[in-house]
Structure 1
Amino acid sequence: MTAAREAVRPLRENRDFLLLWSGSAVSILGSTASTVAYPLLVLAVTGSAADAGLTGFVALLPMLLFQLPAGMLVDRCDRRRVMIVCDAVRAAGLASIVAALSFGHLHLWHILLVGFVEGTLSVCHELAAGAAVPNVVHPTQISAALARNEARERGATMLGTPLGGILFGFGRAVPFVLDALSYLVSLVTLLFIRTDFQAQRSTERPHVLAGVKWLWRNAFLRTATFLVAGSNLLFRAMFLVVVVMASEKGASAAGIGVLFGVAGGAGLLGSLAASWCQRTLSLRTTVIGANWLWALLMVVIVTTDNFLVLGLAYAGMWFVGPLWNVAVASYQLEITPDHLQGRVLGAVGMLAFGAVPLGSLAGGYALDALGPHTAALVLTGWMVVLAAAATFSRAVRQTRRHNRVPHDAQVQDPPSDRDAGRPALRGVADDR
């Protein structure tokens, strides 16, 4: 019996959700620490900054290449078993790095291979975990569960970033030992979970592009995904611009570190407020309002000469992010048929994360060609365009929240463009 059919109880009393949440929290903490340690390790082994950059690129490449096939995998196979296998193989890969370091035979190809495999399996693990949420918690608690997941990820990232550097100082292998152990902790928590991570499987043969087709036919989700891709490109470019602008305003390296620490804290606060905002604000208000708030804060960043004001505006942008994430992700999980969850999440992830490396590239070129202030002006214009697109989008303006259909019910195709503003779900379970 799935969580959707059980009596409603607080998330803090949902044993399976707490196990899934805590195991993932430990895993993200370890992964963040090793992400910081990887370039430090490559620099120590090869002395090449180019090799360090290559390592980061190879580790992130699966996020672009494998979202769609990973989505098909987690729809076709048992999602909990997929996550267990991913944790076991990732732990083994990191253990191989620790062993190679212990024997003094670690090579660049070894680091690249482990990074690529770990990145690939992380895509599968995250898609399976995301698709499992509607089956682990009650339908009325999806947004609250996603808000807690946002808080978990941002909190673990805040702690893991400095922890990776600190642990590397104690020994090159230490951060990777922590990461391997974190995957084992996640694996153990998964073994104790009793709830099925998916409804009864469909008899259809999964098609890798089914999620893309479903996403494209839903006017609101299609629009929201492109808006996310555009804002992700901007935020990645803005990261570099803020670093340079802060330096020009006299901020030290420590001061810049504090700035991003405060921004991370603002993101954590945003995740804590996200559930309340999701209950209080309409979906279209959140989508349109978030884009205009980002545009306004970008104007503040461009026009201020004060480092403190710049830092507060940048932190404000981080605060707004979880409000968007929880609102849109809740809607997506609520209306997507369970047998398509992995492929739809994969399609969204391919577009959203595919913009991240492009944003980094664009930010670097913009800084070199235009300088930080002009580059920030261009990015501000880009954000205003996105906000205007959200405002004038018929799909965004006419969307409204929908009652959730149980994920083991028969669900038909999503609404097409001409259905924007009508109920997104049709079928026997529609009790509106």
Structure 2
Amino acid sequence: MTPLWRNRDFTLLWSGQVLSSLGAAISSTATPLLVLATTGSPLDAGLVGAAGTLPHLIANLPAGPLVDRWNRRLILLISELVAAVAVLSVPLAIWSGLFSVAQLCVVAFVQGLCFVFFGLAQDAALPMVVPPAQLATAIAANEARSRGATLAGPPIGGFLFGLDRAAPFLVDGISYLIAAVGLLFLRRDLQKPAEGPPESLWRAAVTGLQYVWQDSLIRVSILLIAVSNLVFQALILVLVVLAGEQGGTASDIGLMLGIYSAGGLLGAFVAGRLHRMVSFRTVLVGINWVWAALLPLFLLTTAPWQIGVIGALTAFVGPLWNVVIFTYAGVAVPNELLGRVMSAAGTLTWGVMPIASLAAGLMLTWSGPTGSLWSLSAIMLTAAIAATLSPSVRRAPPLDHAKGVDPVPTEKAEVPQ
């Protein structure tokens, strides 16, 4: 078997996204800083965050069937180009004196919409680029790419924002354009031909939802992911405000988020090996308890670097969670359905994010960082208890089954978990 890093198309796709992910991490760090510097309102920052994640709620479901039906290579390319145009409008508006929070909401929405289509197309195309035996390793490599970008991006974003408020967005826009050029050189067909006449868009979306609902393990896993996404999406804004109250500058906050992300990068490297040594049940239950134990520790911090260290611990276990769950989905779900299934899953798991951003802004306005952290800790504790008590999680098969060693039958649960 050809080593993964000699797989030309995987390497090309992976390396192009390193730069694009880095640019996105730079601008996402600068976005709340720009809003807070412009209006001083956490609620405004929450609104921009909600606009950026709203596409996950309203576009994921129809996007999945389209990813299975349309040319995935073209979807990847258009997503990068449209995102580049949207993000580059921010520095132009700043330099011309026309910048507004409303414009940033529109840019965030467009960027989020592109992220939805790109992410679904990339996830569905990955099993076509790498063989099943290397899928877990490829997912771990993508995790390392993402975590590495979020490690380097925040310090760079904070530093660039300190030099010029427009600079982080200019860098992000250019990174999208460079990544788009790399996509032009992909050779492989990124999808299997559809069998039979295409379903209607609505019927195709329902097919994805039905598949998710009928597999009890996937269903419970998605619900747990949705809760953790809600918590950690809200947590980022809460921690940025908390660090500001502790006297942190833009560079301090960027460094704090970089430390936070360092844990995720280290976890991504470890996950590539560790996923073979732990059971599915251990991952689903244990990681939720780790998060439930760590979140209250943020209340004890007095400096941004301390926030970053605790955040790094929470981020360390995240890649293992992603590798285990998405390896199962990537092999167990037929590839011609994968876009629809991933979009149905994404509607739930990412659809909570605009709610989380708005909730974070409201919680910070009403009860400040301390009250917000108590609320998020309580939600995470509830999720850990639910994972422990779930019959589907207790019956979770060994992860080797998800790698094609022994196909996993679809299990229909009579009672929702």
Q: Name the TM-score, length of structure 2 as normaliser.
A: 0.84
List aligned pairs for 1:86-97, cutoff 5 A: 86-95=79-88
Structure 1 position 221 matched with structure 2 position 213? no
Q: Name the aligned partner's letter for residue 74 of structure 1.
A: V
The residue type paired with residue 413 of structure 2 is D
Worse-superposed segment, 47-56 or 186-195 = 47-56
Which deviates more, 217-226 or 206-215?
206-215
Report the alpha carbon displacement of residue 152 of structure 1 after superposing the two structures with TM. 0.8
Q: Residues 309 and 95 of structure 1: is their aligned pair in 2 closer, same or farther, counting only changes over 3 Å? A: closer
Instruction: Spell out, residue by residue over 1:100-144, the C-alpha distance to the aligned partner (whole angstroms, 9 max, x if none).
Output: 667776677665544433321221011101111111112111111
User: Which amino acid in 2 is paired with 1:35?
Assistant: S
8 Å contact kept, 2:46–2:360:
no
Cα offset for 1:312?
4.0
Aligned 8 A contact 1:214 1:413 in 2: no
Corresponding residue to 1:150 among 143, 167, 189: 143
Q: 1:216 to 1:43 in 2, by over 3 A?
A: same
Structure 1 residue ranges without an equivalent (≥5): 1-7, 421-432
Conserved? CA contact 1:30–1:160, under 8 Å: yes
Q: Does 1:321 align with 2:318?
A: yes
Over the residues paired in the alignment, what is the CA RMSD in angstroms?
A: 3.5
The aligned runs of 1:259-270 (5 Å cut-off) are 259-270=256-267
State the 1:344 CA deviation.
Answer: 1.4
Q: Tell me whether 352-361 or 51-60 shows the greater mean CA deviation.
A: 51-60
Cα distance in 1, alignment partners of residues 97 and 366 from structure 2: 43
- Cα distance 1:105–1:337, how it changes in 2: closer, same or farther (>3 A)? same
**How high is the sequence identity, in percent, across the aligned residues?**
40
Could you say what secondary structure the match of 1:197 adopts? coil
Select which of 186, 193, 200 maps to 1:193: 186
State the one-letter code of the partner of 1:120.
Answer: L
Instruction: Return the match for 1:58 from 51, 62, 77.
Output: 51
- Which of 4, 7, 12 is equivalent to 1:19? 12
**Inter-CA distance 78–284: structure 2 relative to 1 (3 Å threshold):** same
- Residue 146 of structure 1: how far off its partner (Å): 1.0
CA distance in 1, matches of 2:363, 2:44: 24
Q: 2:123 aligned with 1:123, yes or no? A: no
Which of residues 397, 416, 422 in structure 1 aligns to 2:394? 397
C-alpha separation between the residues in 1 aligned to 2:102 and 2:355?
25
Q: Does 1:383 align with 2:366?
A: no
Q: Select which of 2, 5, 8 maps to 1:9.
A: 2
Aligned to 1:163: 156
Match of 2:354 in 1: 357
Contact 1:288 1:391 in 2 (8 A): yes
1:259, distance to aligned residue in structure 2 (A): 3.8
Distance 2:4 2:18 in 1: 16
**Where does structure 2 lack aligned partners over 5 or more consecutive residues?**
none
Q: Which position in structure 2 is the counterpart of 1:4?
A: none
Q: Secondary structure at the match of 2:352?
A: helix
1:147–1:275: 8 Å Cα contact kept in structure 2?
yes
Match of 1:424 in 2: none
Matched residue SS, 2:205: coil
1:137 equivalent in alignment to 2:134: no
How far apart are the structure 2 equivalents of 1:184 and 1:278? 35
In the TM superposition, 1:265-304 aligns within 5 A as 265-298=262-295, 300-301=297-298, 304=300
**8 Å contact 1:154–1:267 — kept in the other structure?**
yes
CA shift for structure 1 position 71: 1.1
Greater alpha carbon shift after TM alignment, 183-192 vs 252-261: 252-261
Question: Are 1:284 and 1:396, in contact at CA under 8 Å, matched by a contact in 2?
Answer: yes
Instruction: Find 1:83's aligned residue among 76, 82, 100.
Output: 76
Question: Following TM superposition, by how much is the alpha carbon of 1:330 offset from its aligned partner in structure 2, in angstroms?
Answer: 0.9
Task: Give CA-to-partner distance per residue, 1:299-328, whole Å, 9 cap, x none.
Answer: 5556x5776876544321111111111111
Deviation at 1:180, TM superposition (A): 2.9
CA deviation map 1:183-240 (0-9, x unaligned): 2222222221112212232324241222111111110010011111112222234445
Residues of 1 paired with 2:232 and 2:44: CA distance? 25
Q: CA deviation at 1:365?
A: 4.5
Contact 1:150–1:322 (8 Å) recurs in 2? yes
Relative contact order (C-alpha < 8 Å, sep 6+): which is higher? 2
Equivalence for 2:411 = 415
Relative to structure 1, is the Cα distance of residues 289 and 107 closer, same or farther in structure 2, using a 3 angstrom cutoff? Answer: closer
The amino acid across from 1:387 in the alignment is A
For 1:272 and 1:381, locate their aligned partners in 2 and report how far apart those are by CA, in whole Å: 30
Equivalence map 1:33-52=2 (5 Å) = 33-38=26-31
Are the equivalent residues in 1 in contact too, given 2:263–2:311 (CA < 8 A)? Answer: no
TM-score (norm 1): 0.81
Q: Is the 8 A contact 1:68 1:350 kept in 2?
A: yes
Alpha-carbon separation, structure 1, partners of 2:104 and 2:370? 38
Give, as a single letter, the amino acid of the residue that structure 2 aligns with 1:128: A
- Residue 410 of structure 2 aligns with an amino acid whose one-letter code is P
2-side partners of 1:47 and 1:374: how far apart?
23
Residue 261 to residue 169, structure 1, CA distance change in 2 (3 Å): closer
| Bigger Cα Rg | 1
Find the aligned partners of 1:268 and 1:280 in 2 and give their Cα distance. Answer: 19
Matched residue, 1:344 = 341
Measure the CA separation in 1 of the matches of 2:75 and 2:235. 36
**Contact preservation (8 Å) 2:53, 2:350:** no
